[in-house]
Structure 1
């Protein structure tokens, strides 16, 4: 399921968000699936329940999950992809960092494209 690494600089709540998004993309989690409760997931990952709650709130803001009072948190049935200017700008900054680091590792553009393509396929379950 989800893996959290407290040693990396990515905040734990963001790791939870990315992990859930990855599980959806890979088809492990599907529309309508129930997520563990905040308490269950925090116990499973040995992290603070507030961290899980924050991740769930962010996912709800993005309409990736929906909370049904008294029932739990579910993968949204009505999720529609939309391009947020803010998210796109953040992605462009992340790409610039990756290109910079790749350059200092000695990777060429073709190497970076190959790595990106492979990771993209892996995220989609090898498709």
Structure 2
């Protein structure tokens, strides 16, 4: 799809505003495009620092394509970055079920458990 390729190209060129506009255009035509939600979330994080928007977009990408591990990783990272440690932990636990990403997920789970422990003090 031309629009998806354009959106990805803008993103790779770090032209996040145009990538975001492209994602919005794609979603206006078809609101079931998980990849557009994924890139929208990534771009919102880079340009708007809109926590709610980032999480909504990434959650929607995961909802539409629950087996796409990169979407789950982006969501887990966003949860962690914004301090939603328990939500991040749940996502990394889901990711750990994928053999290819299990080791990375287990390392992230340990880090997040440490952050949860530190936040108790």
With normalisation by structure 2, the TM-score equals 0.28
Decide which structure has greater strand share. 1
The higher relative CO (CA closer than 8 Å, separation ≥ 6) is in: 1
With normalisation by structure 1, the TM-score equals 0.27
Decide which structure has greater helix share. 2
Larger Rg computed on CA atoms: 1
